[in-house]
Structure 1
Amino acid sequence: MYYGLSAFRQKEPILINAVNELCNGDFLKSLDRPFEAHVQDQEVTRLFGTNFDASVVNQDMLEEIPGEMFHFKARDEGDTTLLRKCIAPKHLVLKVGAKVILIKNISKDLCNGKQGIVHYLEKDTPPVINFDGNLVPLSDVKFDVYDMQQEKTLACRTQIPVILAFALTVHRAQGQTLNLVEVDCYSFIAPGRMGVAVGRATTTSGLRIINFNRKAAFTRHSDIVYDFYDREFSDFSTDLVCCQKQQVYPSVPDYQDSNVTLDTEPSTSSFDLRDMEHDHQLEEPQLQSPWDINEFIIENQSSTFMNDFLPDFC
């Protein structure tokens, strides 16, 4: 089965195989070991399945950096309830030396997903970020909630367009090339997520996998996804008749009453659970979070970043 995918980050054959197939469980499990002694914690990017886990680790890593914290509060307009899922946080807390990632396209060279290091901070002054040796003062920008049917903006948040990047969700890390990455699989349920996470690494020495479970690796997309990749595509006709033909796709299971979360991330796995031996027992996903939410809220209730979480958990 061919999916039109090729490895361009990885050079090691065993890692390329792991990315493409995710079938070598013993190899992936062997990557649950510490990085080399010279690697600093702040050099490693940690990947998680949920925003909450990434936020907790980012806050912990930020507190370990010496120096003063600077708080940037967003300005909200319109129906603020629509901004609760805005990628730009209501309260952004930074320190000099913190790892950050852009969350909006600013220019041709400063695009969504570009990582940098906070270089300089001063009260009431835009933060200066070091992007690959270029020191860039970042002014705040608008994040709009736009309704296409009403053709108007319903809400707007104005904030510095970065978030902390010591830890990221797999979704946020798509497209990234990471030299040092730790993948925590415990909350991976959606198909393809494991492949996307492992595919961020460039070498086996720069990849660590923890809480590995086979079901997270081998969970398949719906057959319609694989059928799409297997299709033969021809060039577009000049009159676009090809686009007007009705395509008949295989039926998709009804997940309306299911707890399964569908995900649109492309999978690099060609492994079929149906091909496995019946006597082979899969490990169930380890879904229990290492964080106790009540203890976390009590310990951090005085922190400004908790203003983003408390409405959701209280």
Structure 2
Amino acid sequence: MGSKEEEITLTTNKKTYETDSTSNRQNKTDRKPVENRGAALVRLKRPLPKDAYSDCVKLFSRNDQVDDFNRQSIVEFPGQLYEFKSDDEGDLKYLNKILAPETLWLKIAAPVILLRNLSDRLVNGLRGNIYDITDSGPIVEFPSLNLKMPLEKVRFSVFSPTRNTEIAVRMQYPVKLSFAMSIHKSQGLTIDCLEVDCRNIFKPGQLGVALGRARSSKGLRVINFKPQLCVIQQPEVVRNFLSRDSTELLEDKTCCSQKLESSEQRLVQTAHCQSTEKTEEKLQETEQDIPIDLYEDDAEEFDKEFDDIISMITVAQSEPVTLPSDLNLDLILSSLKCENVKTIMQENTN
């Protein structure tokens, strides 16, 4: 029989195997009363089966909570403790904010997570377990890849455009313990046994992301949930977008290329900017886990340094631009280059 091609339009996106755990994702649509969602989450406070809890992953909103739990867990974990010190150079302020730890504690069979892309398969965020520890360093087993990989120390650095040089460099094995993880770091994972600690939830949708990591409600536990603290309303621009009627779906799909009227587009952009300004300071103080070598507040500090340099340049339509003599563009561009290209965007950037 000949095959006939059919066009399929996806109308529902379901990540997990059931809808119980995803139907209560906080602040996604705000279509259900907060009380209903809260009651469902309170019921998930019940303990998980003991046989599953030993492999349970805990999610926290902040990195300091993650680090405290991981330190406690590795001490209690059975086996010999191995300590790996980093090789550091530079400004202590920025060394302390590099994601790779100064002191890495490991035991055989302890869970870890990669902090760097090492290949097209060994990517940042991949979870594994310590298979062995040799004189050359740890060997990590990645069950999802059916692979055992000896690790070498890699270079983590922070570059200052004002000083035109690297101000902090750390050589360390590119893993950290993952008995617990930050909600940010867990994005994209599907976890069979999960405990979400709701303390210090600080932005809209964060709790929803955490709940969405669970494969099913049977393997999900939610603790320290307080609706008045954890259920954070989405910005007005998001609520307005979600409340709007969808554009009519046309067979030729020209509806997808329709643009907003200029006045409406300006209104949405203005609302977004206002929302961003209100939350920016809070996010800088609390968000500590982003996949670069420095925290968000320091990244923006360096952005300002670039702005200061650019502001020194007088640009005229008919005149050439003269850069400061001490500005080493080659060094700046080389620090932005991705050594292990994984995406088209990274390839284009290089």
Q: What TM-score do the two structures reach when normalised by structure 1?
A: 0.70
RMSD: 3.3
Between the aligned residues of both structures, percent identity stands at: 30
Match for 1:249 among 267, 270, 282? 270
Question: Are the structure 2 counterparts of residues 30 and 108 from structure 1 closer, same or farther at C-alpha, using a change threshold of 3 Å?
Answer: same
Residue 79 of structure 1 corresponds to: 91
Moved more, 228-237 or 210-219: 228-237
Q: Secondary structure at the match of 1:27?
A: helix
Q: Residue 191 of structure 1 contacts residue 220 of structure 1 at CA under 8 Å; is this kept in 2?
A: yes
Unpaired runs of 5+ residues, structure 1, are 265-314
Unpaired runs of 5+ residues, structure 2, are 1-9, 248-254, 288-350
Q: What TM-score do the two structures reach when normalised by structure 2?
A: 0.64
Residue 302 of structure 1 corresponds to: none
Give the number of the structure whose alpha-carbon radius of gyration is greater.
2
**1:99 and 2:105 equivalent?**
no
Match for 1:186 among 183, 187, 199? 199
Deviations 1:119-140 (CA, angstroms, capped at 9, x unpaired): 10134x1200001131100111
Deviations 1:23-69 (CA, angstroms, capped at 9, x unpaired): 4211111110111232142x000011222221121122212222211
**1:12 and 2:18 equivalent?**
yes
Aligned-pair CA distance for 1:163: 0.4
Deviations 1:272-309 (CA, angstroms, capped at 9, x unpaired): xxxxxxxxxxxxxxxxxxxxxxxxxxxxxxxxxxxxxx
Q: Residue 47 of structure 1 contacts residue 170 of structure 1 at CA under 8 Å; is this kept in 2?
A: yes
Deviations 1:69-122 (CA, angstroms, capped at 9, x unpaired): 111111112333222111001110100011000011111110000000001013
AA matched with 1:185:
C
Aligned-pair CA distance for 1:11: 2.7
Match for 1:128 among 139, 145, 158? 139
Q: Residue 146 of structure 1 contacts residue 155 of structure 1 at CA under 8 Å; is this kept in 2?
A: yes
Q: Residue 20 of structure 2 contacts residue 216 of structure 2 at CA under 8 Å; is this kept in 1?
A: no
**1:153 and 2:166 equivalent?**
yes
Question: Are the structure 2 counterparts of residues 6 and 49 from structure 1 closer, same or farther at C-alpha, using a change threshold of 3 Å?
Answer: farther
Aligned-pair CA distance for 1:220: 1.8
Work out the CA distance in 1 between the residues paired with 2:59 and 2:201: 10
**1:28 and 2:41 equivalent?**
yes
Residue 295 of structure 1 corresponds to: none
Residue 58 of structure 2 corresponds to: 46
Q: How many pairs were matched up?
A: 253
**1:115 and 2:127 equivalent?**
yes
Question: Are the structure 2 counterparts of residues 259 and 121 from structure 1 closer, same or farther at C-alpha, using a change threshold of 3 Å?
Answer: same
Question: Are the structure 2 counterparts of residues 115 and 248 from structure 1 closer, same or farther at C-alpha, using a change threshold of 3 Å?
Answer: closer
Q: Secondary structure at the match of 2:116?
A: coil
